Amino acid sequence: MLIIDSVQNAKAGHPGMALGMAEVGYILYRHVMKYIPKNPSWFNRDRFVLSAGHGCLLQYICLHLAGFSSVQVEDLKNLCKLGSRTPGHPENVVTDGVEVTTGPLGQGVANAVGLALAEAHLAARFNKPDAVLVDHRTYCIMGDGCAMEGISNEAASLAAHWKLNKLVLIYDDNHNTIDGDTKITFTEDISARYGALGWNVITVDNVHSDMGGFKNAIRSAFNETERPTFIRVKTVIGKLSRKEGTSKAHHGTFEDDEVKEMKQKVKWEGRKPFHVVPSVYREMKIQTEYGEALEEAWYSTLNFYQTKYPQEAVEFKILLNGGLVPGWEHSLPSWSKSDPVDATRGYSEKCLNQIAKVLPGLVGGSADLASSNKAYLHDYQDFSQPNSPSGRNIRYGVREHSMAAISNGIALHGSGLIPFAATFLIFSDYMKNAIRLSALSHAGVIYIFTHDSIGLGEDGPTHQPVEQLAGLRAVPRLLVFRPADGNETAGAYMVAVENRDRPSVIALSRQKVAANLEGTSASEVKRGGYILSDNSFKGELPEIMLIGTGSELCICEESAKRLREEGKKVRVVSLVCWRIFDGQSEEYKDFVLPKNVRKRVSVEAGSPQGWREYVGEEGRVIGVEDFGASGAYLDTFKKFGFTVDNVTQVARSLLD
């Protein structure tokens, strides 16, 4: 009835799935999961993910009945209202007790795999026969839409391969999606699919009349030692309503006489909306008291652990406190102009492996490209069960989308793990939805994207990113770095690691950059943009400014040298991260890019989208308006105007 009251009051919402899965929600929160409403972030709690996020009322009401202060009756009354703690889909930064932000279908399934992987990895690293610190499970509810989305299959394949036996995926099999019965689009044997993937598959034929069957399925999951468990629960969408069993129950409100009928069915006549029988709160309190007892015992174990295993305890406490070690940034390498040149992906490899030695939570991997994007921790094993679950390299295979969403789960596990996910920049398109959710849910994932421009050469337009940087820069809160050399690469890592509540993209070159530029600075990257060089007299403004990122910054500097030889006053600016630069004070931004200097040229081997904001209407944007071309990178750069000759010519035309 709380589901119905909330929807009727809000005049909006999705009651169908919540009504159909009410029994499942009750059993999980009353008889299965360990959690503590007073301490929602307790480390060893079970994790719950609602991948079918439209059914958020199920979770909100379970949280309310369980005693979470984040969902009071007033919050249920404010469902979907601006500023409420009960938004239209669950958001982890809004509601305590919500682990991850879900909504786009299938994402939560992959998040749950990430949460389960984090638990398995940490258990292998820290548990001792006489002191178990890491022992919790991950439960996820998915629907037909989640089952159809490709990301869930990618993630489920990995979960079975990794033998994540503490992961339980509960499939709400109600045979309906928004457009109608699933027979119009989805007729495969979903149980056979998960069985083929390597899951422990159980079916509960009618949870409404057989809640004991669901409890038995959970017991089977508890006894499973190698496989994740897939519980297929057959339900009736919109149970009790006139729309039950049909797609019309998915969303929307009910007629007044229909509400009256539903109340009669459950003998609820005469009660005011949002009424809760007091004994229900007392019943749910039994489970919270169970959780509190477990928490007390866990802290006793932690105290014992610190005494008997002091070295491991120090590392564990570092992770519990966010994963950062004071002074960790001093481990980052630095480069001078005399050092051998490399691609920025090569500099990235050195940075990654250096910080891994001092950051115990750094874990991650590539989508089958570790040898190419150089994102691999050489001193550590691959995560694998049962052989090396403590390994810090994660092999994702060719599964970019689930890699990103699994990384979100790892980042949001709350254990100080710092995940990185790597592929080519062009394939960020496969990952875009999950990257967006990284930003929305404050997940500090570090995305390492190499082969960052048409400069990758021979693979041609299908692999040459053009519009990707512009698209990623448009994502709110996402930090996008395009470093020019080793020092800027180190600076990008410095900022990305420090930002544990927002994701970062580090876009790196395949080709070697021309040099470690004189004037680049790791510390200046934290400003987003800074002056690389300027031959103007003190107090004077330059005649022209050349603004660049990545490998093209060197082209700007070489062009500036030619112009300076002709007597021109030229400033070169590195705009390594637009979002950080935009957040600086007006004084600093005007110091770097003075408003009175209108002659400006931007140079970036990607889409010109967005550059007009920095060069103004009188400036020139040198970018890529097409899809690139197959050829040696220098030939490709020349074709699209990324040469010192062309940049110098464009600058001269402005000066003339």
Domains of the chain plus CATH, in order, are 1-292 (3.40.50.970), 328-513 (3.40.50.970), 527-655 (3.40.50.920)
What is the arithmetic mean of pLDDT over 567-585? Answer: 98
Closest CA to 6 of 57, 53, 63: 57
Any binding-site annotation on 14? yes
Is residue 14 classed as helix, strand or coil in its secondary structure? Answer: coil
Identify whether 255 is a catalytic site residue.
Answer: no
**pLDDT band with cut points at 50, 70 and 90 for residue 613:** very high
Residue 616 per-residue DSSP state: -
- Residue 8: name the closest of 69, 70, 57 by CA: 57
Give the residue from 214, 283, 209, 279 showing the smallest Cα distance to 239.
Answer: 209
Span 631-651, average pLDDT: 96
- Asked whether 136 and 45 are in contact (CB, 8 A), the reply is yes
The answer to whether 451 is a known ligand-binding residue is yes
pLDDT band at 545 (very low <50, low <70, confident <90, very high): very high
Residue 457 has pLDDT above 90, yes or no: no
395 labelled binding-site residue: no
Is the pLDDT at 431 greater than 80? The verdict is yes
Q: What is the pLDDT of residue 488?
A: 97
**Cα–Cα distance measured from residue 417 to residue 581, given in angstroms and rounded to the nearest whole number:** 28
CA gap 51, 41 in Å, rounded: 20
Overall average pLDDT of the 111-116 stretch:
98
598 annotated among ligand-binding-site residues:
no
345 is in an annotated binding site: yes
- What pLDDT, on a 0 to 100 scale, did the predictor assign at position 234? 96
Please check if 620 is assigned to a binding site.
no
pLDDT in tens, 261-303: 999 999 999 999 999 999 999 999 999 999 999 999 999 999 9
Stretch 140-149: mean pLDDT: 97
Angle, CA of 193, 196 and 199, to the nearest 5°: 90
Task: Read off the tokens for 308.
Answer: 């008997």
Bridging pattern class, strands 570-574 and 530-534: antiparallel
pLDDT-derived band of residue 500, with 50, 70 and 90 as boundaries?
Answer: very high
Is 521 marked as binding a ligand?
Answer: no
Residue-averaged pLDDT of the chain: 96
pLDDT at 538 over 90: no
Q: Which of 400, 524, 552, 557 is catalytic?
A: 400
What is the 8-class DSSP label of residue 332?
S
- The phi, psi pair for 163, rounded to 5°, reads 60, 50
Taking residues 636-656, report their average pLDDT: 97
Query: Is 401 flagged in the annotation as binding?
Result: no
Instruction: Specify the residue for token string 């500097």.
Output: 557
d(CA 580, CA 583): 5
* 330 marked ligand binding residue: no
Peptide bond into 333 cis (omega under 30): no
54 is in an annotated binding site: yes
pLDDT at 338 over 90: no
Q: Give the model's confidence band at 114: pLDDT under 50 very low, under 70 low, under 90 confident, else very high.
A: very high
Q: With contact defined as beta carbons under 8 Å apart, do 531 and 472 qualify? A: no
Does the structure show a pLDDT above 90 at 176? yes
Residues paired with residue 364 on neighbouring β-strands, in sequence order = 393, 420
**Residue 462 token pair:** 């299908």
- 219 annotated among ligand-binding-site residues: no
pLDDT of residue 117: 98
Given a contact cutoff of 8 angstroms between Cβ atoms, the answer to whether 119 and 77 are in contact is no
Q: Which residues pair with 480 in a beta bridge?
A: 505
Calpha distance 134→117 (Å, rounded): 12
Residue 144, marked binder: yes
Q: How far is Cα 380 from Cα 364, in angstroms, rounded to an integer?
A: 11
Q: List, for residues 371-425, the tens digit of each pLDDT value.
A: 999 999 999 999 999 999 999 999 999 999 999 999 999 999 999 999 999 999 9
Residue 611: the pLDDT is 98
Coil vs helix vs strand at 580: helix
What mean pLDDT comes out for the span 602-616? 97
Q: Provide the Cα torsion 298, 48, 118, 145; round to 10°.
A: 170
- Going by pLDDT thresholds of 50, 70 and 90, the confidence category of residue 529 is very high
Q: Is the pLDDT of residue 337 over 90?
A: no
In 10 A of CB 409, how many CB atoms?
31
The whole-angstrom separation of Cα 49 and Cα 156 is 15
Instruction: Sort 499 into a burial class: Cβ within 10 Å, 0-12 / 13-18 / 19+.
Output: middle
